[in-house]
Amino acid sequence: MLATGCPLTRPSPVQPHAPEPSLDGPAQQPPPTTKQSITWARAATPADVPGPPPPGTWRVHMIDVGTGLAILVQGADFTLLYDAGSNDPDEKPARVMAYLTAALGPSGDEQCVGAGVPSAARRRIDHVILSHPHQDHASALDLVLHCFEVGDVWDSGRVNDAVFYRDFLYAVAEATGATYHTASPPPDDRRIAVKGQVVTIPPEVAWQSFSEGDEVTLGADARLTLLHAEAKGHADPNGNSIVVAVDLGGARVLLTGDAESGERADPSAPLGDVEEHVVTHFPALVDADILQVGHHGSKTSSRRAFLDAVSPMVALVSAGPRRYRKTRLPDAEVLAALAATGAAVLRTDEHDGACPTSPRIGADKGAGGCDAWVVTIGP
Ligand SMILES: [Zn+2]
């Protein structure tokens, strides 16, 4: 078991306080544990979505996509999108695009902004990471790659023989000037067979492999470290989830995708699989202030030993109404384990029946659109 407490902690005589959430957010706000101030607020309408932060401040947005995941990390000098997908059939690309339009501005043609005003220019997203090839993480990424100028695309390289993954790869192939990164080395012929077709990544898109422990500079005082990079070896793509630690000034964000410990079990069960791997190999780097809770709060993930190692101050749970096999996530046992850590638990599924405010972000139907959360890391 790791010692609890964050390596970035230092005593501070004046502790900033988080503001009251705009709706019925968590009543308890734990004391800050890093040298950065960390505050959070719900984004229920487009007007609640802030623009780019000033230098020395960063924002982590958990976009309310319904049943899926999309995390936007913003600095003054970079933008990173970790996953963008939903299993909800009604509006799977619309919420992400509406949120990105609110946060970054309109970008691209009429496919990109829905009812908004198309923009001849394409805005930039420096890094797009697909944690693993499941639709609830990937369904909007082909549109994101079409609508934005993307610098680097990160993908485990685990092929899921499905149309959405093929569409993602076609969009990568058209992202001229981008660099495509996979955990497996690029094949000499640059061809990927998926769902009855072959996608060729052209030379205009650079293709490189990455490894665990690789560090990437994002911007001033901001970097990411890859903690899990594996293209093969798992029957379920969840096991290929790219896990990254994102250091923003003195605060750290841990993004886990659908990383698991094993079969559904009580959080008291032993660590296993990807959670055990990253705790064993990167014990210091998993100790984070902000945790994207693995697999939508499923009992496959968030073992107590993992949560003890992370010791988060803020736990982000992205979930929606569609069931995973027979289960609607998050699981109550995981929510209880998160609460026991003292973390503030922020969820996207609190108003999936009906939004109490309007207009919501994206289409006015289906789940999602009014429970996004913006976590601000300030000086
Ligand atoms: Zn998922």
In angstroms, what is the span from residue 80 Cα to ligand 1's centroid?
19
How many CB atoms sit inside 10 A of residue 213's CB?
12
User: What's the pLDDT at 74?
Assistant: 98
Domain count, the chain: 1
CATH number at residue 319: 3.60.15.10
- Cis peptide bond upstream of 359, omega within 30: yes
List residues, by chain if needed, whose CB lies under 5 Å from ion ligand 1. Answer: 136, 258
Does 295 map to a domain? yes
CA separation for the pair 127, 244 (Å, rounded): 12
In angstroms, what is the span from residue 315 Cα to ligand 1's centroid?
16
Q: Model pTM? A: 0.91
User: What's the pLDDT at 69?
Assistant: 98
CA separation for the pair 178, 61 (Å, rounded): 24
In angstroms, what is the span from residue 10 Cα to ligand 1's centroid?
35
User: What's the pLDDT at 281?
Assistant: 98
Does 256 map to a domain? yes
In angstroms, what is the span from residue 203 Cα to ligand 1's centroid?
32
Does 144 map to a domain? yes
> pLDDT 10s digit of each residue in the chain, 379 long?
333 333 333 333 333 334 434 444 444 444 445 678 999 999 999 999 999 999 999 999 999 999 999 999 999 999 999 999 999 987 656 899 999 999 999 999 988 876 567 887 899 999 999 999 999 999 999 999 999 999 999 999 999 999 999 999 999 999 999 999 999 999 999 999 999 999 999 999 999 999 999 999 999 999 999 999 999 878 999 999 999 999 999 999 999 999 999 999 999 999 999 999 999 999 999 999 999 999 999 999 999 999 999 999 999 999 999 999 899 999 999 999 999 999 999 999 999 989 999 999 998 888 999 999 999 999 9
User: What's the pLDDT at 10?
Assistant: 30
In angstroms, what is the span from residue 36 Cα to ligand 1's centroid?
30
How many CB atoms sit inside 10 A of residue 369's CB?
32
In angstroms, what is the span from residue 333 Cα to ligand 1's centroid?
18
In angstroms, what is the span from residue 331 Cα to ligand 1's centroid?
14
Does 77 map to a domain? yes
In angstroms, what is the span from residue 296 Cα to ligand 1's centroid?
6
Does 30 map to a domain? no
Does 9 map to a domain? no
In angstroms, what is the span from residue 129 Cα to ligand 1's centroid?
14
Tell me the C-alpha to C-alpha distance, in Å, between residue 68 and each of 239, 279, 329. 17, 25, 11
Residue 160 lies in domain: 37-378
Q: Give the start-end residues of each E strand in 16-133.
A: 37-43, 58-62, 68-74, 79-86, 124-130
In angstroms, what is the span from residue 220 Cα to ligand 1's centroid?
31
Report the candidate in 71, 85, 205 with the shortest Cα–Cα distance to residue 125.
71
User: What's the pLDDT at 14?
Assistant: 32
In angstroms, what is the span from residue 311 Cα to ligand 1's centroid?
22
Q: Give the start-end residues of each E strand in 187-278.
A: 191-194, 197-200, 206-209, 215-219, 222-228, 243-248, 251-255
In angstroms, what is the span from residue 362 Cα to ligand 1's centroid?
20
In angstroms, what is the span from residue 146 Cα to ligand 1's centroid?
23
- Tokens 């009906």: give the residue: 354
Tell me the C-alpha to C-alpha distance, in Å, between residue 184 and each of 155, 158, 165. 9, 8, 17
Does 103 map to a domain? yes
Report the candidate in 297, 185, 286 with the shortest Cα–Cα distance to residue 243.
286
Does 32 map to a domain? no
User: What's the pLDDT at 57?
Assistant: 98
